[in-house]
């Protein structure tokens, strides 16, 4: 199969795997800010105040609108909070804010029925709308399953009727961590179970002639989330549906980790044209979420335009569901399960079953100073004349044509441009990087590793076809395309289809020019008449280059890694400090769970149910456990949703009441109602008793 044939193949879950093309969904009315259809991708977030604190909730909502939110969600845990939404809405309208409000409902149909008469949209969780989660392993006969559905239909119908009467929209928001016992019994804790959980409720709505729906498939594991959304789209298309998609990764955490984890999930879907609204969920103040969501989304307003120009005025085909009829061969691409592309192990170091390797470019740094290797994760001690390495020490540094004047650590490999490499007297741990033609013309090759740079355009050349795959060869895959992820994915399809098992390092280059670049994004937002309100332009401007690198690299590399593509990653970003480039690379590998180098925190963004200060608590827990590589710790604000939402965490720290923390091992309660002052020590004690504790220490190279 040649590259042109591969380019012509449409995907199963999106309009095109090759050209940026947004999936056209049904337009849904939410107050006076419609979603889906040809509307811009909307931005939203959720308040963290107590819903009974009217003044606080109004003030926070206004800050969120100023930061760029098109919709604001507020929790309504019971009827009294649902009723107070009327006062919150009244005060917002009096202050001139017409932002549509969304009530967040778990477990309480009566609160939903009150809220649906007041706000513009209600969010229900199909896993707990009419079910108490019992975590029981139940077995249902076909008849019992149907009876359950009928019971839920009776409970759910009044809400649908109210929504129809009041013109209220509804989000059917499935969460991976809170599937009903019924769904768990039939499908398990799987993307298919998540899809079916929503489909049951969608079918009920349609049987009542109610279509004002938005759907979400969230998980704290971005890979599960991506698979579930893809499967949802394919399932909806098969049933003739095209409801708008609300994208989000739950419990993403804070800071760099939270941004990267959100971007690998949300960005991967946006790359394939999926998504009508985005909520980035950070354990930070909610007004910090919108600029991140805006930066993720705005990348596509200019891309759509460029792809349209490239297509010379032809329609990009979002109008028709028919492209979904062709399926890529599952051996070429299975979008619903992770399977790493099979490659050989080159020099017992890269490819095969090895973790993805990390390359950074230090060629422009001061190579007279050994301390510069701290940027690559190697700390130099002048006293001992020794380096120490850690879990985030890179595998290769690219030095181009620059020669360092100090000795490198033995386990760090140096990459040189071929000509410079050929003149080296001591080539130990040094490997050449070639252009394709240069590789053929070279008189000397390395006996260990030869890296050859390729792009999509090279794949059908004689030079490429004449390559001998001798297990020292590793490709460095580059791209100049605007829709670069898809361009590189095509290359992987090509390699796979043609049985080429050479390991591939994916390389992407990012040019940032500080404020001037940010201005370009702002200009693009304005000229594309995006959803961004004038008031939010300042928020957009505040997205700095470092954040943009984290978001864009996480999107571009994450989307490929989720599909099993890539034996190494190489981020080029000359304007960004190398230390940040290194931590971004390891953050992406951690978020895609392809190389674990640190503790993972699954912390909720907090809301009106939260029982302690999540930001402070998360920092406190992080400060004592951040060396526990590979452990997943859930930090949840409430006992109502927390245990379900923390999904596959190894340990959980969950608010159970004022100054009461309940500690979990997986889904098992280990200690109930511990005072907050003692809870972290108790948690560490449990980890120690389980044999999962290690003392913080540095590993010497």
Please report whether residue 227 would count as binding ligand SF4 according to CB under 6 A.
Answer: no
What is the rounded CA–CA span in Å between residue 287 and residue 300?
22
Query: Where do runs of H (alpha helix) occur along 67-141?
Result: 79-94, 109-115
Under the criterion CB under 6 A, does residue 637 sit at the interface with ligand SF4?
A: yes
Stretch in the footprint of ligand SF4 (CB under 6 A) among 25-33, 329-337, 535-543, 641-649: 641-649
Q: Which residues pair with 632 in a beta bridge?
A: 600
607 lies in the binding site for ligand SF4 (CB under 6 A): yes
Do residues 94 and 55 lie in contact, with contact meaning Cβ atoms separated by under 8 Å?
A: no
What DSSP designation does 566 have?
-
Residue closer to ligand SF4 (CB basis): 111 or 636: 636
Residues whose CB falls within 8 Å of the CB of residue 470, separated by 6 or more in sequence, listed in order: none
CB of residue 137 to ligand SF4, shortest distance in Å? 24
Q: Which residue is nearest to ligand SF4 (CB)?
A: 637
Which residues are within 8 A (CB) of 173 and not within 5 positions of it... i.e. 6 or more apart? 123, 124, 125, 126, 215, 216, 218, 246
Is residue 610 close enough to count as binding ligand SF4 by CB under 6 A? yes
Which is nearer to ligand SF4, 180 or 610 (by Cβ)?
A: 610
Site for ligand SF4 in 90-149 (CB under 6 A): none
Of 110 and 538, nearer to ligand SF4 (C-beta) is 110
Residue 465's CB: how many other CB atoms inside 10 A? Answer: 9
Q: Which stretch binds ligand SF4 (CB under 6 A): 201-209, 363-371, 500-508, 639-647?
A: 639-647
Question: Which stretch in 187-195, 206-214, 634-642, 662-670 sits in contact with ligand SF4 by CB under 6 A?
Answer: 634-642
The three-class DSSP label of residue 664 is strand
Indicate which single residue of 177, 634, 642, 652 sits in contact with ligand SF4 (rule: CB under 6 A).
Answer: 642
User: DSSP H helical segments within 239-288, as ranges?
Assistant: 255-271
Is 604 one of the binding residues for ligand SF4 (CB under 6 A)? yes
Taking the C-alpha atoms of residue 608 and residue 175, their distance in angstroms, rounded to an integer, is 19
Among 606, 617, 618, 625, binds ligand SF4 (CB under 6 A): 606
Nearest distance from residue 373's CB to ligand SF4, in Å? 41
Residue 592 sits at the vertex; the CA angle it makes with 588 and 595, to the nearest 5 degrees, is: 75
Exposure string for 162-172, b = 16+ CB within 10 A, e = fewer:
bbbeeebbbbb
Which residue stretch of 123-131, 402-410, 540-548, 600-608 sits at the interface with ligand SF4 (rule: CB under 6 A)?
600-608
Give strand pairing partners of 227. none
Nearer residue to ligand SF4 within complex by CB, 169 or 640: 640
Q: Are β-strands 699-700 and 386-389 bridged in parallel, bridged antiparallel, or unpaired?
A: antiparallel
Closest CB to ligand SF4 among residues 47, 545:
47
| Nearer of residues 40 and 634 to ligand SF4, judged by Cβ | 634
The radius of gyration of the chain from alpha carbons, rounded to an integer in Å, stands at 26
Whole-number minimum distance, CB 670 to ligand SF4, in Å?
19
Interface with ligand SF4 by CB under 6 A: which range of 418-426, 485-493, 538-546, 635-643?
635-643
The smaller minimum CB distance to ligand SF4, of residues 343 and 606, is found at 606
- Residue 586 and residue 605: Cα distance in Å, rounded? 23
- Which of 232, 500, 638, 687: binder of ligand SF4 (CB under 6 A)? 638
Tell me: does residue 645 bind ligand SF4 (CB under 6 A): yes
Closest CA to 271 of 17, 481, 81: 17
Enumerate binding residues for ligand SF4 (CB under 6 A): 604-607, 609-610, 636-638, 640-642, 645
């Amino acid at each position: 199969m040649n590259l042109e044939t591969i380019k012509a193949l449409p995907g199963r879950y999106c309009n095109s795997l090759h050209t940026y093309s947004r999936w056209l969904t049904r337009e849904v009315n939410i107050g006076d800010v419609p979603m889906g259809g040809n509307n811009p991708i909307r931005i939203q977030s959720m308040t963290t105040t107590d819903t009974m604190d009217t003044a606080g909730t109004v003030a926070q909502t206004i800050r969120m609108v100023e930061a760029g939110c098109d919709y604001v969600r507020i929790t309504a845990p019971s009827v009294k909070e649902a009723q107070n939404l009327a006062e919150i809405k009244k005060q917002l309208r009096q202050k001139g804010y017409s932002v549509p409000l969304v009530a967040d409902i778990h477990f309480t149909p009566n609160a939903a029925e009150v809220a649906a008469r007041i706000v513009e949209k209600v969010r229900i969780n199909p896993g707990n709308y009419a079910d108490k989660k019992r975590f029981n392993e139940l077995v249902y006969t076909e008849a019992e399953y149907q009876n359950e559905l009928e019971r839920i239909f009776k409970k759910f119908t009044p809400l649908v009727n109210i929504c129809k009467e009041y013109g209220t929209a509804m989000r059917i928001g499935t969460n991976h961590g809170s599937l009903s016992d019924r769904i768990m019994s039939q499908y398990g804790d799987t993307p298919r179970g998540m899809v079916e959980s929503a489909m049951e409720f969608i079918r009920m709505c349609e049987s009542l002639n109610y279509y004002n729906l938005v759907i979400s498939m969230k998980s704290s594991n971005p890979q599960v989330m991506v698979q579930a959304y893809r499967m949802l789209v394919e399932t909806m298309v098969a049933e003739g549906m095209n409801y708008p998609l609300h994208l989000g990764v739950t419990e993403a955490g804070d800071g760099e980790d939270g941004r990267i984890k959100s971007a690998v999930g949300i960005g991967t879907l946006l790359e394939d044209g999926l998504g009508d609204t985005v909520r980035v969920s950070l354990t930070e103040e909610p007004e910090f979420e919108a600029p991140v969501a805006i930066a993720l989304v705005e990348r596509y307003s200019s891309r759509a335009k460029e792809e349209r120009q490239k297509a010379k005025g032809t329609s990009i085909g979002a109008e028709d569901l028919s492209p979904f009829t062709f399926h890529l061969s599952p051996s070429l691409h299975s979008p619903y399960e992770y399977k790493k592309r099979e490659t050989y192990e080159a020099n017992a170091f890269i490819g095969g079953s090895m973790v993805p390797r990390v390359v950074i470019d230090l060629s422009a740094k001061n190579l007279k100073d050994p301390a510069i290797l701290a940027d690559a994760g190697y700390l130099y001690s002048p006293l001992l004349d020794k380096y120490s390495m850690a879990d985030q020490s890179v595998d290769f540094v690219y030095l181009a044509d620059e020669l360092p004047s100090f000795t490198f650590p033995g386990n760090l490999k140096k990459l040189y441009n071929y000509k410079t490499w050929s003149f080296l007297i001591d080539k130990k741990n040094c490997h050449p990087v070639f252009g394709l033609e240069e590789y053929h013309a070279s008189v000397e090759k390395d006996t260990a590793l030869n890296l050859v740079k390729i792009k999509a355009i090279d794949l059908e050349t004689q030079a490429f076809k004449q390559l001998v795959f001798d297990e020292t060869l590793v490709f460095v895959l580059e791209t100049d395309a605007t829709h670069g992820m898809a361009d590189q994915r095509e290359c992987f399809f090509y390699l796979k289809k043609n049985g080429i098992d050479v390991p591939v390092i994916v390389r992407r280059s990012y040019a940032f020019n500080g404020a001037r670049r940010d201005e370009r994004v702002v200009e693009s937002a304005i000229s594309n008449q995006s959803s961004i309100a004038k008031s939010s332009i300042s928020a957009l401007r505040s997205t700095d280059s470092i954040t943009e690198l984290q978001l864009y690299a996480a999107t571009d590399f994450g989307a490929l890694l989720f599909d099993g593509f890539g034996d190494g990653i190489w981020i080029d970003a000359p304007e960004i400090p190398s230390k940040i480039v290194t931590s971004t690379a390891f953050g992406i590998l951690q978020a895609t769970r392809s190389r674990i180098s640190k503790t993972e925190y699954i912390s909720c963004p907090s809301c009106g149910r939260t029982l302690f200060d999540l930001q402070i608590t998360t920092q406190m827990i992080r400060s004592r456990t951040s060396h526990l590589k590979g452990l997943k710790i859930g930090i949840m604000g409430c006992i109502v949703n927390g245990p379900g939402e923390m999904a596959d965490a190894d340990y959980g720290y969950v608010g159970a009441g004022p100054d009461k923390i309940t500690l979990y091992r997986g889904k098992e309660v280990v200690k109930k109602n511990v005072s907050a002052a003692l809870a972290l020590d108790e948690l560490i004690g449990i980890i120690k008793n389980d044999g999962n504790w290690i003392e913080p220490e540095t590993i010497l190279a």
